[in-house]
């Protein structure tokens, strides 16, 4: 049973979410202050945290930072703050998703399932595929499978036979080992952060802070340079990337 910690100082919201989540098979723990949330998280070890930012004692961002000091538990922010700076601040601090109030319970449940799915997949396998490239995060190894061969045998057009329609390329049957791809320490660090958040926008500030350090959070040109290098090495078509995507002015996303 998935255990959810709900942190909100509005009793009616706590009550409504507790009833709805329990009815759908979740185990629910509640807290109405930031300090209470940190204590409850340490004592009960929830699988997901639903967090309001407007708490009476601590700001929600402080709670996120407190949690991120020792746990990677998924955090879904549920807040009446709709300003972009509030969303960016929460995501930079380590939140996994952000929903503004008022909200629909069906949307909330879908977001919970999504973050649970992502964290479950991440925990289950350190091996990630990007097209023909396989990345093993645990072994720090990236390899590219040989390009598939197209079968050219058969009658030629113009010899009384029509030109054959395009067919999907057959998978390579040669058994040849994949080509080893060399990545630098910095490239591995950047790739690790992106692949650890599949489908999720990772802000420029978070990437710069985690890979280069807090003193580099404004050096956005580093990201452009290194993302271009990663695309050149890992994408099948670097000019039209499918997996390492740019969200202009916001950050980057790994799309599985």
| CATH number of the structural domain spanning residue 133 | 1.10.10.10
- On whether both 131 and 250 belong to a single domain, the answer is yes
What is the residue-averaged pLDDT of the chain?
82
Write the CB contacts of 103 (distance below 8 Å, at least 6 apart in sequence): 78
Q: Is 167 domain-assigned?
A: no
Could you give the strand order of the β-sheet that contains 251-254, starting from the edge strand earlier in sequence?
201-203, 251-254, 244-247
Alpha helices per DSSP H over the chain: 11-23, 34-44, 60-68, 84-93, 105-124, 185-195, 204-211, 220-234
Q: Is 41 domain-assigned?
A: yes
- Condensed to tens digits (0 to 9), the pLDDT of residues 63-106 reads 998 888 778 889 999 888 888 888 898 998 899 999 988 888 88
* Cα 14 to Cα 210: distance, rounded to the nearest angstrom: 34
- On whether both 117 and 10 belong to a single domain, the answer is yes
Report the range of poorest mean pLDDT among 110-114, 163-167, 230-234. Answer: 163-167
pLDDT bracket for residue 48 (50, 70, 90) = very high
Mean pLDDT over 188-203 rounds to: 85
Task: Return the structure tokens found at 60.
Answer: 């929600």
Q: Are 91 and 203 in contact (CB under 8 A)?
A: yes
Q: Is 159 domain-assigned?
A: no
Q: Is 163 domain-assigned?
A: no
pLDDT bracket for residue 177 (50, 70, 90) = low
The number of distinct structural domains making up the chain is 2
133-136 and 127-130: which strand pairing? antiparallel
pLDDT at residue 11 tops 90: yes
Residues of the chain with pLDDT > 70, as a percent, come to: 84
- On whether both 135 and 85 belong to a single domain, the answer is no
pLDDT bracket for residue 224 (50, 70, 90) = very high
| CATH number of the structural domain spanning residue 70 | 3.40.50.2300
- On whether both 133 and 230 belong to a single domain, the answer is yes
Q: Are 7 and 32 in contact (CB under 8 A)?
A: yes
At 150 the pLDDT is 56
């Amino acid at each position: 049973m998935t255990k959810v910690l709900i942190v909100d100082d509005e009793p009616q919201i706590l009550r409504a979410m507790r009833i709805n989540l329990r009815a759908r098979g979740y185990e629910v723990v509640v807290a109405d202050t930031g300090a209470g949330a940190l204590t409850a998280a340490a004592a009960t070890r929830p699988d997901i945290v639903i967090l309001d930012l407007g708490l009476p004692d601590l700001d929600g961002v402080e709670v996120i930072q407190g949690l991120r000091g020792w746990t990677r538990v998924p955090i879904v922010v549920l807040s009446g703050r709709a300003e972009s700076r509030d969303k960016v601040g929460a995501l930079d601090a380590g939140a996994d998703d952000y929903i503004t109030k008022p909200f629909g319970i069906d949307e909330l449940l879908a977001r919970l399932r999504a973050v649970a799915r992502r964290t479950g997949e991440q925990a289950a396998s350190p091996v990630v595929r990007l097209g023909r490239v396989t990345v093993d995060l645990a072994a720090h190894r990236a390899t590219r499978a040989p390009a598939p061969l197209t079968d050219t045998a058969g009658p030629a057009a113009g010899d009384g036979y029509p030109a054959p329609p395009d067919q999907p390329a057959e998978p390579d049957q040669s058994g040849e080992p994949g080509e080893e791809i060399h990545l630098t320490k910095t490239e591995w660090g950047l790739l690790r952060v992106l692949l650890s958040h599949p489908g999720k926008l990772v802000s420029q500030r978070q990437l710069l802070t985690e890979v280069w350090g807090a003193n580099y959070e404004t050096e956005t040109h580093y990201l452009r340079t290194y993302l271009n290098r990663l695309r050149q090495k890992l994408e099948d078509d670097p000019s039209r990337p499918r997996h390492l995507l740019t969200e202009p002015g916001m950050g980057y996303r790994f799309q599985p």
